[in-house]
Structure 1
């Protein structure tokens, strides 16, 4: 009771009650006052979009937590146009110019758009990597790794890639031989392959998922963490709830992240003490010495990054592309005919020859348009003084991004945007399409460093699979593309009936 008596000694009890009541009233009225400000006084008040989303973050939080943000933003763009306000301080763009203005190289003296820490705090580890590094460290790190992803390096790495392509084909052959018209989950097969490839490039050893035909616990944790990270991001917009979660689960979350990160660090350390000239990432990176060299922490952090960014995304594109080919049998036949007529045997299928296949390239571009592996916008924060984006002045400290899936599926950019039409990339009939908007690997100084590797992997895996096998889509996967998004697509099994190619 002493504490209460001390309060009463400060003055008239009724006065204290009035003060506390006023504070409580302000706490209640503040959200309403803020909503009114956001709607009628905020610098973004004239940007079109849902009124509730302009007033409060609650719609974004709701859709984010349910995995429906992407489809909601797509609907908002369809209703309101190419520039929309999807939060009190958040804009989404679908115009091709948005890529250059938001992510591109800026003229000398013009401030660029920094990465939005509200998003990237959840997408990064504490150590510096290509995602969370400042501009100076990023440029230095990228120069070092660019050698490992150059055309010369990729040619040296081709035998390593083919090792896993051959193993994937062997495993599929075993399934068909064991039971004709075997049902196969291609999402699993492609994940096994891409993770094994990147594991060998990054750690000097595969994860043996293809060999064992199952996910490792570490990879399963990666998939689960994508959804958990999205949930934490949604919660972060609610300060009271976020503080409670940190209080109750903070130590557990940190421990889980450290255990996951240690898996990468242990394997990188094991690779670094191995003397070898095999053409993996570290053989090329370790040639840099002195000030150009990476610290051990940077090596650990970037290895962890590559195992996420260079695996699941490639398998995702291949899964989506296979789905759309299977849903369009005439396009599938045309692609198989091109591949099977170009090569006399599997040994002839190599990176150099695949680059020359025009319809294969067109199918990949259309797959990236219909089902981009990173479908949601990568947020940037405008400089304090503001900047011009797509011809409109955007005030400082505004979250901005291009939403890839929405931009790629917009009728303002493409004819028949919901149809899978590889011919649009090679036929003059689709010259009106705004093809410059298709930037699935982003643009500018922080675009995807592994773009060339991804294209080579996609060509090799898709062409070799279709060279050997015929596929039909199982009934249970007819609506496979109806998916939620938690940072990346939440892919269900892609079940196909597999048979040896009837050449």
Structure 2
């Protein structure tokens, strides 16, 4: 092959990058690109063997050289752009991350993105370039700028993962999101929540009986509360429980959730997740199951208290940090005692105004956020400013709550468990707008008494009222009915040490002993 022809192929690769991949979103077309390459190889080999009498081996070798030259030009242009021309070139970060988003994925074999990002921010500071066009930001003011209602940031391309299926959670269209949110909001009004509370209480009773039956034997509370939470979700979403508390094992459909979320822990680029079919096989099998169950509900006209399964986290109803800090449990019991009815029941309504209970929950969510790393947003074309730092347009940004929750720039004694920062000592929170456990900016009306956690934002978790109802009431009932203690050989460190980030957090095991009071 002549040098001129080779150079032309390299230049075609450069031009392809500059004209196509440099300007437009192309993450949904990975499969198409492989198909085009396959068609080109097939056509070239067929033409060479039939019309030029070349051997199959020679024809295949020639076409692979052509493709290699083209890809060399494309990737040389891409790497040069990322290093020297990218508007993000001045932001610090690992060299490999500047070349490709795959750098981070290759360092997440243990699905510990929250820990990896924490270490990287310790090294590089508040603004971390973590991909070719990605920034991880833990500046105290960043959450307000990126996630607040007035923000011009939109959902990033990661949310296209489920296309062609579009939900209120994944749609990137603001108008469509607003329309669907208005419809869904009726399902979380106060009247609806009272109905959900009655349904949840059935499973809380099952949970109490399960704990009671253990009779001081070590219980893996991570597993037990996962069974409980998914039973609740099954009942509220489909009108029937998975019966996992009764059977003592995971339902096959719930196992699909674990299978579906595992690839998320690698934080692979969207183009790979959508191209590699086996990476999302479990996810789509679970979607098919959900659609079938919803069809059954609609056909049977059992549309009562149904909600989406994504509205509750796998460890609802438990505050692990409170167990690791037992001094707070007597204070919780003292606060809860006046709200126990004559039949020893606890209603949720008064719990939402209990200062110490809500402070303990808020502090737990600070240290153990349900979504600990990447709620990805795309900056507007004109870019944005975080104080004196300019973030260019079309940049994917996120604010990892796990890292922010441990930032001394946001909290005093950031790595300690101090519920008082949400109640009697609000000055310990230096930047209140940085706290966002429910996908958006959280407003903290720190007036006492009657501390209430509220969340605002275009994409804030619409199921937050139900999540908090479940956490408050389940925590209250467990604490009032049982004394809690670590099982022999348990110190609670494994809960966080073995936590995995799979978009949502998957906590490590923790074994406790429960003694009925």
Q: TM-score range with shorter-chain normalisation?
A: 0.7 to 0.9
* Contact 1:317/1:368 (8 A) holds in 2: no
In structure 2, distance between residues paired with 1:425 and 1:92:
26
- Any stretches of 5+ residues in structure 2 without a counterpart? 1-44, 441-456
Indicate whether 1:485 and 2:485 are aligned: no
Q: Which residue of 1 aligns with 2:297?
A: 271
* Contact 2:494/2:508 (8 A) holds in 1: no
Q: Which residue of 1 aligns with 2:515?
A: 499
Which shifted more, 415-424 or 220-229? 220-229
Listed one character per residue, the Cα deviations across residues 320-368 of structure 1 (whole Å, up to 9, x for unaligned) are x22x222212123332343345436564411112123211111000000
Q: Which residue of 2 aligns with 1:422?
A: 419
* Contact 1:192/1:209 (8 A) holds in 2: yes
In structure 1, distance between residues paired with 2:177 and 2:465:
19
In structure 1, distance between residues paired with 2:391 and 2:373:
20
Which secondary structure state, in structure 2, belongs to the residue aligned with residue 77 of structure 1?
helix
Q: Which residue of 2 aligns with 1:63?
A: 107
- Any stretches of 5+ residues in structure 1 without a counterpart? 282-302
In structure 1, distance between residues paired with 2:409 and 2:387:
14
User: RCO greater where, 1 or 2, for CA within 8 Å and sep 6 or more?
Assistant: 1
In structure 2, distance between residues paired with 1:386 and 1:370:
31
Following superposition, the deviation at residue 469 of structure 1 comes to 0.6
Q: Which of 252, 268, 272 is the matching residue for 1:234? A: 268
In structure 2, distance between residues paired with 1:152 and 1:82:
43
Q: Which of 48, 58, 65 is the matching residue for 1:3? A: 48
| Match runs of 1:253-402 below 5 Å | 256-275=282-301, 278=304, 280-281=305-306, 306-307=308-309, 309-311=310-312, 313=313, 315-316=314-315, 318-319=317-318, 321-322=319-320, 324-340=321-337, 342-343=339-340, 347-402=344-399
In structure 2, distance between residues paired with 1:158 and 1:92:
38
Q: Which residue of 2 aligns with 1:174?
A: 213
In structure 2, distance between residues paired with 1:55 and 1:156:
52
Q: Which of 223, 226, 235 is the matching residue for 1:191? A: 226
Indicate whether 1:72 and 2:107 are aligned: no
Distance verdict in 2 for CA 1:35–1:188, change over 3 Å: same
Q: Which residue of 2 aligns with 1:128?
A: 166
In structure 1, distance between residues paired with 2:229 and 2:381:
41
Listed one character per residue, the Cα deviations across residues 274-316 of structure 1 (whole Å, up to 9, x for unaligned) are 44684x13xxxxxxxxxxxxxxxxxxxxx6xx21x223x1x42
Indicate whether 1:115 and 2:155 are aligned: yes
Which shifted more, 54-63 or 28-37? 28-37
Listed one character per residue, the Cα deviations across residues 143-193 of structure 1 (whole Å, up to 9, x for unaligned) are 1110111122112332222222222112222222xxxx2111111221222
Q: Which residue of 1 aligns with 2:484?
A: 471
In structure 2, distance between residues paired with 1:388 and 1:466:
46
* Contact 1:182/1:499 (8 A) holds in 2: no
Which secondary structure state, in structure 2, belongs to the residue aligned with residue 206 of structure 1?
coil
Following superposition, the deviation at residue 408 of structure 1 comes to 1.2
Q: TM-score, normalised by structure 1?
A: 0.80
Distance verdict in 2 for CA 1:238–1:65, change over 3 Å: farther
Q: Which of 233, 238, 245 is the matching residue for 1:203? A: 238
Which shifted more, 359-368 or 40-49? 40-49
In structure 1, distance between residues paired with 2:149 and 2:84:
34
In structure 2, distance between residues paired with 1:416 and 1:230:
29
Q: Which residue of 2 aligns with 1:161?
A: 200
* Contact 1:64/1:234 (8 A) holds in 2: no
Following superposition, the deviation at residue 400 of structure 1 comes to 0.9
Distance verdict in 2 for CA 1:23–1:464, change over 3 Å: closer
In structure 2, distance between residues paired with 1:439 and 1:346:
37
Following superposition, the deviation at residue 7 of structure 1 comes to 6.6
Q: Which residue of 2 aligns with 1:293?
A: none
Listed one character per residue, the Cα deviations across residues 208-262 of structure 1 (whole Å, up to 9, x for unaligned) are 112222210001110121003445x5275669xx86x45xx48xx55x5443223
* Contact 2:143/2:433 (8 A) holds in 1: no
Listed one character per residue, the Cα deviations across residues 416-441 of structure 1 (whole Å, up to 9, x for unaligned) are 11111111111237345323211111
In structure 2, distance between residues paired with 1:22 and 1:276:
61
Indicate whether 1:141 and 2:167 are aligned: no
Superposed CA RMSD in Å reads: 3.1
Distance verdict in 2 for CA 1:430–1:388, change over 3 Å: closer
Q: Which residue of 2 aligns with 1:300?
A: none
In structure 1, distance between residues paired with 2:297 and 2:514:
37
